[in-house]
């Protein structure tokens, strides 16, 4: 199957079977989403959603974060991974949003990455979720699934390389939702260690399945590494 054909088939499948796909983070405005995404780095959305209600209640605007201190904010974030750094990031983020952006979350990747704790992936999430911009955030799920399916080259080593290949091949109108298609597929079906290939509806489009079909069918388990 040519890569162009694979992309078309994968997009058609998800557009048909998952026409609505969105982040599982719970938020009501761009500021809340930004805080949630910063906290979600190397942490589950479930844990973040358990943590953010009290933060949003007591720090409802960037100005509230800007005027708090580490010892006050830290207890709210204690259960999140890397709480020390994230506490510092949120305070710095609040200050910069207040002082340089009028308390509003900027709408471009270039401006967002200036904020403490915000890298390209986070900026892509914010712009694609809030404003439906054709930006592709490549997290561990997107990286894994896109390579397994054969949407990107196997020698793509960095999230940026994967992002560029996906952006090049996915029609612009689908980019923002394709991010969620790949994440959700990776989170619930194409798992890192034990992918549920026998429950997957797109194995006929999957390059990884093509190469490991015999092992999968015979052992009811996907090998962790492709045989050489």
Only one residue has tokens 């979350």, namely: 105
43 known member of a binding site: no
Catalytic residue among 4, 121, 147, 213: 121
Q: Catalytic: 196?
A: no
pLDDT in tens, the chain (228 residues): 889 999 999 999 999 999 999 999 999 999 999 999 999 999 999 999 999 999 999 999 999 999 999 999 999 999 999 999 999 999 999 999 999 999 999 999 999 999 999 999 999 999 999 999 999 999 999 999 999 999 999 899 999 999 999 999 999 999 999 999 999 999 999 999 989 999 999 999 999 999 999 888 887 544 444 443
Closest CA to 35 of 56, 50, 54, 21: 56
Only one residue has tokens 């390059």, namely: 207
Catalytic residue among 88, 114, 139, 157: 139
Q: Catalytic: 12?
A: no
First to last CA, the chain: 21
Q: What is the pLDDT of residue 220?
A: 58
3-20+136-219 is classed in which CATH architecture? Orthogonal Bundle (1.10)
**How is residue 28 annotated by DSSP?**
S
Domain 30-131, CATH among 3.40.50.970, 1.10.1370.40, 3.40.190.170, 1.10.340.30: 1.10.340.30
Q: What is the pLDDT of residue 217?
A: 85
Which residues are CB-contacts of 124 (< 8 A; sequence separation ≥ 6)? 109, 135, 136, 137, 138, 163, 179
Question: How many CA atoms lie less than 13 Å away from 15 in the CB half-sphere?
Answer: 12
Q: Where do the domains of the chain lie?
A: 3-20+136-219, 30-131
Q: What is the pLDDT of residue 165?
A: 97
């Amino acid at each position: 199957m040519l890569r162009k054909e694979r992309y078309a088939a994968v997009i058609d499948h998800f557009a048909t079977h998952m026409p609505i796909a969105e982040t599982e983070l719970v938020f009501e405005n761009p500021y809340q989403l930004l805080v949630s995404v910063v906290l979600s780095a190397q942490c589950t959305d479930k844990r973040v959603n358990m943590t953010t209600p009290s933060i949003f209640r007591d720090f409802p605007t960037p100005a509230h974060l800007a005027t708090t201190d580490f010892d006050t904010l830290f207890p709210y974030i204690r259960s999140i991974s890397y709480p020390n750094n994230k506490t510092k990031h949120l305070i710095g983020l609040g200050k910069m949003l207040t002082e340089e952006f009028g308390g509003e979350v900027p709408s471009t990747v270039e401006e967002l990455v200036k904020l403490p704790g915000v890298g390209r992936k986070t900026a892509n999430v914010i712009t694609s979720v809030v404003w439906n911009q054709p930006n592709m955030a490549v997290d561990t799920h997107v990286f894994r699934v896109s390579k397994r399916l054969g949407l990107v080259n196997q020698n793509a080593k960095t999230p940026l390389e994967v992002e560029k290949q996906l952006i090049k091949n996915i029609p612009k109108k689908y980019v923002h939702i394709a991010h969620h298609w790949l994440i959700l597929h990776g989170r619930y079906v194409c798992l890192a260690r034990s992918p549920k290939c026998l429950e997957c509806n797109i194995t006929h489009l999957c390059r990884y399945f093509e190469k490991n079909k015999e092992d999968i069918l015979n052992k009811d388990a996907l090998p962790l590494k492709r045989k050489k």
